[in-house]
């Protein structure tokens, strides 16, 4: 985890500004930082958000173009949060596997 990610703070929806939202050309680091500004684990709807993120991922994998249609701000931020968690988890798992191969 980078120092930048450790210092992140949550941004409630009511405090969110347009300048907080990364653009479609932003780096993954910027997107990941924004994703971490919404902690879906501590939200009262965490289980629903987790399921929604999983279903949305499957919809995209199956090329369903309207996967995000009609979702609210919290739902969209939760999906992005869980995508970020998955990315970090997968990256760490790959890193650990490579270490096993690289160390005698």
Q: Which domain holds residue 68?
A: 24-102
- Count of the separate structural domains present in the chain: 1
- 88, part of any domain: yes
User: What single-letter DSSP state applies at residue 71?
Assistant: -
**pTM for this predicted structure:** 0.67
- 98, part of any domain: yes
- 10, part of any domain: no
- 33, part of any domain: yes
| pLDDT tens digits along 34-64 | 888 988 888 888 899 888 888 888 888 888 7
- 14, part of any domain: no
Least confident of 9-13, 85-89, 99-103: 99-103
- 54, part of any domain: yes
What is the Cα–Cα distance from 41 to 44, expressed in whole angstroms? 8
- 17, part of any domain: no
- Phi first, then psi: give them for residue 62, nearest 5 degrees: -95, 10
- 5, part of any domain: no
| pLDDT tens digits along 9-41 | 889 999 999 998 888 898 888 888 888 898 888
């Amino acid at each position: 985890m980078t120092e930048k990610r450790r210092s992140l703070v949550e941004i409630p929806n009511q405090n969110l500004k347009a300048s907080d939202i990364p653009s479609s050309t932003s780096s993954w680091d910027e997107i990941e930082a924004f994703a971490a500004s919404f902690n879906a684990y501590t939200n009262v709807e965490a289980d629903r958000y987790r399921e929604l993120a999983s279903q949305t991922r499957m919809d995209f994998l199956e090329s369903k173009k309207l996967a995000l249609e009609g979702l609210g701000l919290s739902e969209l931020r939760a999906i992005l949060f869980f995508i970020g968690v998955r990315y970090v988890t997968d990256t760490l798992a790959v890193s650990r596997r490579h270490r096993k191969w690289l160390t005698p």
